[in-house]
């Protein structure tokens, strides 16, 4: 399960604590590589580590190289072949090859640039970190590499020298309606890498007992989404069937930049929803952003299968599939 990686934040904190730090980033893979391109490991000057570049196959060698790189103040580009035997030991069927870029903070990766990246991540602002391995030039890019950003796909550009690391905010799912479908959808979404929030002013539904360990808000839905904020890494799912609860959140989201809006209900229910929104002055183009009836048509029966169809549709929209 891919979770949000806090490696930049950790590297900056360790560097500022005076121990030194380096960021090791997977920049290229071949075969069945243990971690995807863009995965990071932080190595402290005192030998501490956080994160992973291979799930345990080559971390030891990367740590040794990183400590030397910190002492020398130079970047290193490492290449490792992961044998089938080593891969099997960490739970993979077969091995592969990975290249790892090691960048000491301060001497190679400027502290000011890393701090700017960390601050942008805290604001949920998408950034691309760009480094040219031939020249050593580094930069942070806003509103660049739209296809990479949409697909969360770090990697080399066609020149084979410019590596682009995608730093997107964590995916977030706001579920309005603490119903049975939400009980199935929320854990599925968490597995898929989303940070879910359940919104329902009906405290009998929105209870810790029904959603153990989850973030629950009992605000009115439009107030809740205003507090949470809506952006291009947020999906909004409306499950209450009650216009008094769904519509206020829906109206807040239509004008925002969320990547997905889905609303539960039959074709007839959705037609009534469209009519209400038109009366409220929303355009056909705005209303067309709503996926209703919600979810891909997979013949779902029951809350769990409906949740699968919703998550599948969210993924398809996020990744640009029709």
Please determine, for residue 1, whether its predicted confidence score (pLDDT) is greater than 50.
no
Output 210 or 255, whichever has higher pLDDT: 210
Cβ atoms 44, 69 nearer than 8 A: no
Q: What is the Cα–Cα distance from 204 to 301, expressed in whole angstroms?
A: 25
> Which residues are registered as beta bridge partners of 172?
195, 234
39 to each of 8, 50, 150, how far by Cα in Å? 11, 11, 17
- Does residue 260 carry a pLDDT above 50? yes
CB 77 within 8 A of CB 69: no
pLDDT of residue 86: 63
Q: Quick check: 75 pLDDT over 60?
A: yes
The pLDDT mean for the chain works out to 90
Where does the pLDDT of residue 32 fall: very low under 50, low under 70, confident under 90, or very high at 90 and above? low
Q: Is the pLDDT of residue 166 over 80?
A: yes
How far is the C-alpha of 140 from the C-alpha of 127, rounded, in Å?
A: 7
Residue 216: C-alpha distances to residues 18, 108, 176, 210, 221 (Å): 39, 43, 10, 10, 12
pLDDT, one tens digit per residue, over 264-314 is: 989 999 999 999 999 999 999 999 999 999 999 999 999 999 999 999 999
Lowest mean pLDDT of 16-30, 88-102, 197-211, name the range: 88-102
Other C-beta atoms lying within 10 Å of the C-beta of residue 167: 20
Q: What is the pLDDT of residues 93-106, one digit of tens each?
A: 556 788 999 999 99
Q: What is the mean pLDDT of residues 28-55?
A: 85
pLDDT of 89 over the 50 cut:
yes
What's this model's pTM, rounded to 2 decimal places? 0.78
Q: Domains for the chain: give ranges and CATH numbers.
A: 7-126 (no CATH), 171-318 (3.40.50.720)
In the chain, % of residues over pLDDT 90: 73
* Predicted pLDDT of residue 4: 54
C-alpha distances (whole Å) from 60 to each of 128, 158, 241, 295 are 28, 31, 54, 45
Candidate from 58-62, 191-195, 222-226, 307-311 with smallest mean pLDDT: 58-62
């Amino acid at each position: 399960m891919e979770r949000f990686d806090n490696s930049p934040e950790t590297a900056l904190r360790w560097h500022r604590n005076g121990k030194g730090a380096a960021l090791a980033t997977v920049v290229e893979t071949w075969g069945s590589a243990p971690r995807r391109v863009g995965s990071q490991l932080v190595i402290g000057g005192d030998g501490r580590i956080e994160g992973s570049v291979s799930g345990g196959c080559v971390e030891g060698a990367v740590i040794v190289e990183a400590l030397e790189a910190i002492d020398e103040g130079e970047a290193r580009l490492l290449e490792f072949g992961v044998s089938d035997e080593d891969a099997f030991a960490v739970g993979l069927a077969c091995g592969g090859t990975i290249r790892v870029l090691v960048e000491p903070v301060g001497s190679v990766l400027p502290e000011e640039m890393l701090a700017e990246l960390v601050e942008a991540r805290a604001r949920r602002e998408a950034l691309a970190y760009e480094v040219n391995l031939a020249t050593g030039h580094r930069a942070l890019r806003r509103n660049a590499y739209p296809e990479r950003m949409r697909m969360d796909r770090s990697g080399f550009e066609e020149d084979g020298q410019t590596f682009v690391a995608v730093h997107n905010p964590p995916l977030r799912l706001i579920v309005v309606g603490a119903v049975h479908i939400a009980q199935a959808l929320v854990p599925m979404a968490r597995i898929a890498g989303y940070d879910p929030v359940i919104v329902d002013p009906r405290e009998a539904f929105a209870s810790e007992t029904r959603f153990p360990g989850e973030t629950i808000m009992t605000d009115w839905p439009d107030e809740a989404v205003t507090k949470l904020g809506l952006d291009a890494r947020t999906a909004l799912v409306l499950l209450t069937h009650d216009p008094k609860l769904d519509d206020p959140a829906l109206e807040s989201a239509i004008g925002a930049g969320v990547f997905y809006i889905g609303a539960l209900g039959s074709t007839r229910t959705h037609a009534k929803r469209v009519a209400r929104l038109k009366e409220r002055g929303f355009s056909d183009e705005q209303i067309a952003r709503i996926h209703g009836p919600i979810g891909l048509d997979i013949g779902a029966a029951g809350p769990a299968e409906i949740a699968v169809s919703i998550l599948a549709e969210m993924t398809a929209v996020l990744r640009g599939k029709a």
